[in-house]
Amino acid sequence: MASSSESNTRPIRLADIAKAAGVSHGTASNVFSRPEIVREEVRERVKAAAEAMGYAGPDPKGRLLRAGKVNAIGVATTEPLSYFFDDPFARAIMAGISEACDATGAGIALVSAGNQEKLAWNIQSALVDGFILFCIEGGSRLVELTRERKLPFVALELGFDDDTVSAIGVDNVAGARLAAQHLAELGHRRFAVLALPFADGSTGLVSPEKVRTALYTGTRDRLVGYFEAFSRYGVDTAGIPVYETENDEASTRAGLETIFASAAPPTAILAMSDRIAMIAIEWLAARGIAVPGDVSVVGFDGVPDAALCDPPLTTVAQPIAEIGRRAARTILDFDGTVRRETLGVELVVRASSGPPPKTAPKTA
C-alpha cells in the first residue's frame, strides 16, 4: 500500500496535479495565476488535487524563467555582508532603498564578497533585475564585473568619473567648501585634513601629484573644495597636512599621531567622513584635547550617529536616504538611459566646531 500517495521522492510539479485533476497543464496553471477565467467546478477540482498531493504552489523558479523579471534589486559591495547592518552610512542608504522597494513591492538581495573570485561569481549568479553598487574600495572592479551582466546598475558615491555608468552622488566640491569656509569664518587658520582613500591600499601624508592622479574623484573633489575655501581666506594650502586614511580606526589614529606631532598643530580638523571625525573626537578626548575648545572637528556625510556623539558633530550632511531612494528608483524605472545625478549637501553646525583658542592648544 501507499505506492502512489507517498510523494517521498521528488517535489510535485504543476503537471502532476494537472494529470491528477484530469485537466491540461494550461488550465492547471490558470487555476493559480488567473483563477477567475476557469470554471468554478474545474477550479475546485484542481485545488482539491493540489491540496491532496501536497502541492506547494507554482514554483517561482519556473515562473521566473518564463516571466523574465525577478522583482528584486541587488545591492552589492566588496565589503562583507555585515557591512549593510553595521555601517551607519550604509544603513541610512539601505533605509532609503527599502522605502522605494516597499512602495513597489520589490525585494532586496544582498550581494557581497571580499574575495575576488567569489565576488565575481556572486555578481554573475545573483537573481536580480539590476544592481546598486556601493563603490567603496575596489569600486572599479565591482563596476566592471557588474557591467558584464548587462543589467541596469547604478553606482553610489561616484567613485570615478566614467560617464557611461549611471551614478548618484553629491556635490563634493561644494560640500567641502562649506565645511572649510565655516571653520575659516570662525577664525581658524591652521588646518589638517583627514582624507578618504585616494587610491586602493595606501595611507599616509599625500603629495600634490597624488591628489592630481587620485583614483577616487570623490576624495579629490572634497579636497578641491577645502582648498578653494582656504585660498579665498588667504590660507596657504601648501602648508596643510593631508593624511590619507582607510576610513577606519587604525589609519585615522595614525594620521592624528602624525598631524599632532607637528610643532604647530592645527586648530581645526576637516574629516572626509563622519566616521573619521568621530574617531578623531575620541582620540582627542583621550589626550585631553578639548573639542571644540582646543581643536574643532568637522565631518562629512551626516549619518544619524553624528548627532548623538559627544560633542555632537558639525558635518556636511548628504541627503542619504534620498540617495538610496533615487538609486532604487533608477533601477526600478530603468529606461535604458545613463542617469547621473548630483544632489546638494547642507552644512549642519553642531557643537564640535567653534572659534580657535586664544593660545595655541597642547601648550600646557
Residue ranges in contact with a copy of itself by CB under 8 A: 11, 54, 56-58, 60-65, 68, 70-72, 80-82, 84-86, 91, 94-95, 98-99, 101-102, 105, 107-113, 118, 121-122, 124-127, 148-151
The CA distance from 107 to 349, in Å, is 37
Instruction: Please name the residues in contact with 97: beta carbons below 8 A apart, sequence gap of 6 or more.
Output: 73, 75, 108, 132, 324, 325, 327, 328
Closest to DNA by CB, 18 or 235: 18
Q: Which is nearer to a copy of itself, 266 or 324 (CB)?
A: 324
134 binds, among a copy of itself, DNA, none (CB under 5 to 8 A by kind): none
130/313 Cα distance (integer angstroms): 36
- Residue 22 or 239 having the CB closest to DNA: 22
Q: How far is the CB of 21 from DNA (least distance, A)?
A: 9
Q: CA 60, CA 38: separation in Å to the nearest integer?
A: 21
- Residue 255 grid coordinates: 594620521
For the chain, how far is it from start to end, CA to CA, in angstroms? 93
The DSSP-derived string for 162-183 is -TTSEEEEE-HHHHHHHHHHHH
Measured from the CB atom, the residue of 43 and 182 that comes closer to a copy of itself is 43
Enumerate residues 323-342 that contact DNA by CB under 7 A.
none
For the stretch 63-90, what's the b/e string if a residue is b when 16 or more beta carbons lie within 10 angstroms of its beta carbon? eeeeeeebbbbbbbbbbeeebbeebbbb
Q: Which is nearer to DNA, 12 or 254 (CB)?
A: 12
∠94-95-97 over CA atoms, to 5°? 60
Regarding 68 and contact with DNA (CB under 7 A), the answer is yes
Backbone angles phi, psi at 86, to 5 degrees: -95, -50
- Write the DSSP assignment of 298-318 as a string of letters: EEEE--GGGGTSSSPPEEEE-
C-alpha cell at 163: 560617464
Choose among a copy of itself, DNA, none what residue 35 binds, the Cβ cut-off being 5 to 8 Å by kind.
none
Q: Are strands 242-244 and 204-205 parallel, antiparallel or unpaired?
A: antiparallel
84 touches, from a copy of itself, DNA, none (C-beta below 5 to 8 Å by class): a copy of itself
- Per CB under 7 A, which of residues 47..66 are in contact with DNA? 57-59, 61-63, 65-66
CB closer to DNA, 30 vs 245: 30
Q: Contact between 14 and DNA (CB under 7 A)?
A: yes
Residue 95 binding result from a copy of itself, DNA, none, given CB thresholds of 5 to 8 Å by partner type? a copy of itself
What minimum distance in Å lies between the beta carbon of 151 and DNA?
13
Shortest Å, Cβ 309 to a copy of itself: 10
269 binds, among a copy of itself, DNA, none (CB under 5 to 8 A by kind): none
Piece of 7-15, 82-90, 200-208, 221-229 that binds DNA (CB under 7 A):
7-15
Cα three-residue angle 351-353-358, rounded to 5 degrees: 120
Binding site for DNA (CB under 7 A): 10-11, 13-15, 22-27, 29-30, 32-34, 37-39, 41-42, 57-59, 61-63, 65-68
